[in-house]
Amino acid sequence: MLRKVTAKTLPEWLDHLLENETDETRIASVRHAHPEWIVRALRQSLVMHGRPASEITELLEADNAAPVVNLVALPGIGNLDEALESGATPGELVIDSALSSGGDLGRMSSIREGTTRVQDVGSQLVARAVAGVDLGQSAKDGEKWLDLCAGPGGKAALLAALAHQEGATLLANEPAEHRAKLVSQALSAVPADAWTVRVGDGRDVGKEQPETFDRVLVDVPCSGLGALRRRPESRWRRTPKDLADLGPLQRELLNSAIDAVKPGGVVAYVTCSPHPAETTAVVSDVLRKRDDLEQIDSGAALDAVSLSGNLAPGTG
């Protein structure tokens, strides 16, 4: 049996398996090892974001590629000297970032101390965009920032460091106590007067602390369809029902974030899923039911903190 299996390469076996198949979704599903519903969802997401549906092949191939390891030096606290000396290369999209050359990152004292962290470029850009939006004030000193869904603490650590630089403070909220401990650990390299960790349901923050925060990040629980490269097994665990189940929670958290922000402040709704049901649909639903909001161009906010200054277009 094994001799028969090895008689052909994987591409040859796939060609044989699909030789009579005409459905494009089925072909992409088998050839790139993605459930059909995810192929359809990602294709829909491309179209919704103004991209050609033909890019689905590149997107599925990217999901199956080995993930890269990006580093960030907490601004004002850490630096990338040790990482660069170890072979890392400077990041091309965001300041204070680097692309790791691999190996045991734990050998670097800056990693062990938490002043340099492993963090995807997308997460770095999001945190910097939240901190960088112009609120029409001359200074950020005294501002209050909120990370509503902070666990395990990666974005919160970068936000806290940025807040410390600006004389602001960060409240990092996490409902699960064990994850809240991870948040505290992630923030430990930042001076303690710049941050506080709250253990509680993010849906309650807006009621308990209305109109309190200048900047709010709400990185909601989601299907994770945009992070399949790092968690490839999740594609086989998730189902369309997960999207339906998560929708009400995502809307409640976004509404809580809006209730918690001051008039004139900014709320960033973030997911690691490109699916319209978790992104544009949630934001549109909330906007339709409230009259106290103004939607800003998220693409412009991200471009403003990107070294390239030319990321994918979008409003949200």
Please tell me the CATH code under which domain 123-305 is placed. Answer: 3.40.50.150
Report how far residue 132's alpha carbon sits from residue 154's, in angstroms, rounded to the nearest whole number.
Answer: 18
Q: 0.85 exceeded by the pTM?
A: yes
In this predicted structure, the answer to whether residue 316 has a pLDDT above a threshold of 50 is no
Report how far residue 45's alpha carbon sits from residue 176's, in angstroms, rounded to the nearest whole number.
Answer: 31
> What residues act catalytically?
272
The residue extents of the domains of the chain are: 2-64, 66-118, 123-305
Per-residue pLDDT, 311:
72
Q: Which of 142, 92, 143, 148 is nearest to 267 (CA)?
A: 148
Confidence tier at 17 by pLDDT (50, 70, 90): confident
In this predicted structure, the answer to whether residue 7 has a pLDDT above a threshold of 60 is yes
Strand partners, 170: 145, 195
Report how far residue 129's alpha carbon sits from residue 117's, in angstroms, rounded to the nearest whole number.
Answer: 18
Burial class (CB in 10 A: 0-12, 13-18, 19+), 130: buried
Strand partners, 195: 170
Q: What is the pLDDT of residues 202-254, one digit of tens each?
A: 999 999 999 999 999 999 999 999 999 999 999 999 999 999 999 999 999 99
Q: Which of 273, 296, 315 is nearest to 122 (CA)?
A: 273
Name the helix (H) or strand (E) containing 16: helix 10-17
